[in-house]
Amino acid sequence: MSNQLSALIFTQPLATAAELQAKYPPRELPEGAAVTRFAPSPTGFMHMGNVLGALVSRTLASQSGGVFYLRLEDTDKKREVADGAAAILSGLHALEIALDEGVDGGEYGPYTQSQRREIYHAFAKQLVDEGLAYPCFCTAEQLQQMRDEQESAGVNKGYYGGWAKCRCMPQDEQVRRLQAGESYTLRLRSPGDAARKITVNDLIRGKLELPEYDMDVVLLKADGMPTYHFAHVVDDHLMRTTHVVRGDEWLATLPLHIQLFGLLKCKPPKYAHIAPLMKLDAETGGKRKLSKRKDPEAAVSFFTAQGYPSAALREYLLTLLNSNFEEWRRAKPAEPLSAFPFSLKKMSSSGALFDLQKLDDVSKTVISRMTAEEVFAQALAWAQAHEPELAELLARDAGYATAMFAIDRGGKKPRKDMAKWSQVREAYAYFYEEPSGAGSEIAQNYADIYVHGDEKEAWFARIKANCGDVAVKDYCGAVRVAVTGRENSPDLWAVMQVLGEETVKRRLTANQS
């Protein structure tokens, strides 16, 4: 009889679930290799919490010789935006999180949910055939009325037990209403009992005891598209995912997901639920979730716009993920991040505090360890996209710009003056514009004795020999102000070498009072 029902629901020819299992066989990977995924919805907004999860997933796959893939969860067309996929890819790019498979290719695709309709239908059909799913004809108004009644009765809201009106509908009525073309959703006939508990081992939180899920959730919406619950179970199974890393907002429905895997006769993956990123609320002084609506820094684009290097963002996120990361970093400053022995077990089940000041500190250190060539290439690439005028200045003379970036770089104590590329213009302004500082007698005096060819020691010796009654520090200070317009600068001799003799002399003699 259920077959008659499924013939009315699924009118197009479909593969069987078994055929699909054979088409997407278990992956041939070494023992213990993790298959992980990033499964965002293309809403046009990439939350830092999302990329945090993606970084964990990427790391797990890389560490184990596994696969990390991207799946676009675009079944909610109301939330989708036109360039949603582009925002996702640029978010991953901002952290240099590489994909092994995804929208650009792979053996387990398609990787976009809206292109997998027949696949979901094949599995849904199996459930209908087994009496585990049924059509629900309740209208939005009826469902609202149900919730209102549940509210006044003080019971759990949702479609379950005696509230699930269509669950017990006689088959002839189902058939009649389907044949009449009534709108319906397909619901799970949940075997769950909320009084019973299941035990799940979360890789971050450890052993969890959760009530069984007893709601008859929607599997296929009225337009035939699957819900997240159903689609991701089918996908994670067919894409042979071994580890699901996702936000802990999904813990509440985890029992449902495990139930669905069971009903589809598939093995559930391992789960790691990440707590949301937090921030200190300026008004209350308390901790709260980093909010997409309130906090600009919740968006990955906030950081790309300002030019934080991807290595710095990754490094900072690792400090949030594993508390032993910083100690490791201090001991091994030159190791690639991939060498860090990341562990899910060391992740906290309470949300990490997202701290912009700390990010800046990390980023300054990361930039200070780059070579001048790296700084030039990254600053130029950022400027080309975000500050064309700066790009033009840098590109005009790559050798000059690289020499400028080389000052106070390398060695034991490199200068840490920039956290992001949007600070280049200000930090290096006097390499491109005449400083507006007032001239001085000292500068004038120094112009007369300045020898551009002096090596650093000779340069300093000449200043000492010439400063007379003025303290060396003050003498150098006056020269610095005349040449750079600032009281603080990187190594003055090196700055003058890069500026060139003509510029130095011009600045020393300019603006005489």
Residues within the interface to ligand GLU (CB under 6 A): 39-41, 73, 228, 232, 244, 246
Taking the complex as a whole, the smallest distance from the CB of residue 353 to ligand GLU amounts, in Å, to 22
Taking the complex as a whole, the smallest distance from the CB of residue 219 to ligand GLU amounts, in Å, to 16
Judged by beta carbon, residue 40 or residue 226, the one nearer ligand GLU is 40
**Token pair in block for residue 289:** 């979730």
Judged by beta carbon, residue 38 or residue 342, the one nearer ligand GLU is 38
Degrees, nearest 5: CA angle 92-36-24: 120
Taking CA atoms, 499 is separated from 390, 392, 490, 506, in Å, by 18, 18, 13, 11
User: Count of alpha carbons within 13 Å of 331, Cβ hemisphere only?
Assistant: 7
Judged by beta carbon, residue 51 or residue 244, the one nearer ligand GLU is 244
Which three-class secondary structure state does DSSP give residue 244? strand
Judged by beta carbon, residue 232 or residue 279, the one nearer ligand GLU is 232
Name the DSSP class of 429.
G
Taking the complex as a whole, the smallest distance from the CB of residue 327 to ligand GLU amounts, in Å, to 30
Taking the complex as a whole, the smallest distance from the CB of residue 257 to ligand GLU amounts, in Å, to 9
Judged by beta carbon, residue 188 or residue 254, the one nearer ligand GLU is 254
Taking the complex as a whole, the smallest distance from the CB of residue 388 to ligand GLU amounts, in Å, to 34
3-class SS string, 156-213: CCCCEHHHCHHHHCCHHHHHHHHHCCCCCEEEECCCCCCCCEEEEEECCCEEEEEECC
Which three-class secondary structure state does DSSP give residue 271? strand
Judged by beta carbon, residue 41 or residue 363, the one nearer ligand GLU is 41
Judged by beta carbon, residue 120 or residue 430, the one nearer ligand GLU is 120
Judged by beta carbon, residue 72 or residue 478, the one nearer ligand GLU is 72
Judged by beta carbon, residue 228 or residue 432, the one nearer ligand GLU is 228
Within a 10 A sphere around the Cβ of 157, how many other Cβ atoms?
A: 14
Taking the complex as a whole, the smallest distance from the CB of residue 382 to ligand GLU amounts, in Å, to 28
Cβ pair 107, 101 in contact under 8 A: yes
Taking the complex as a whole, the smallest distance from the CB of residue 192 to ligand GLU amounts, in Å, to 20
User: Rounded CA gap, 301 and 502, in Å?
Assistant: 42
Dihedral in degrees, nearest 10, Cα atoms 328, 329, 330, 331: 50
Taking the complex as a whole, the smallest distance from the CB of residue 52 to ligand GLU amounts, in Å, to 12
Name the DSSP class of 24.
S
Judged by beta carbon, residue 264 or residue 508, the one nearer ligand GLU is 264
Taking the complex as a whole, the smallest distance from the CB of residue 43 to ligand GLU amounts, in Å, to 8
**Token pair in block for residue 276:** 């949301």
User: Rounded CA gap, 109 and 23, in Å?
Assistant: 11
**Phi, psi for residue 35 in degrees, rounded to 5:** -105, 115
Taking the complex as a whole, the smallest distance from the CB of residue 289 to ligand GLU amounts, in Å, to 14
**Token pair in block for residue 104:** 């650009």
Judged by beta carbon, residue 76 or residue 129, the one nearer ligand GLU is 76
Taking the complex as a whole, the smallest distance from the CB of residue 77 to ligand GLU amounts, in Å, to 14
User: Rounded CA gap, 362 and 427, in Å?
Assistant: 18
Tallying the residues shown for the chain, one arrives at 513
Cβ pair 409, 476 in contact under 8 A: no
Taking CA atoms, 99 is separated from 14, 255, 423, 431, 482, in Å, by 30, 29, 30, 40, 51
Which three-class secondary structure state does DSSP give residue 68? strand
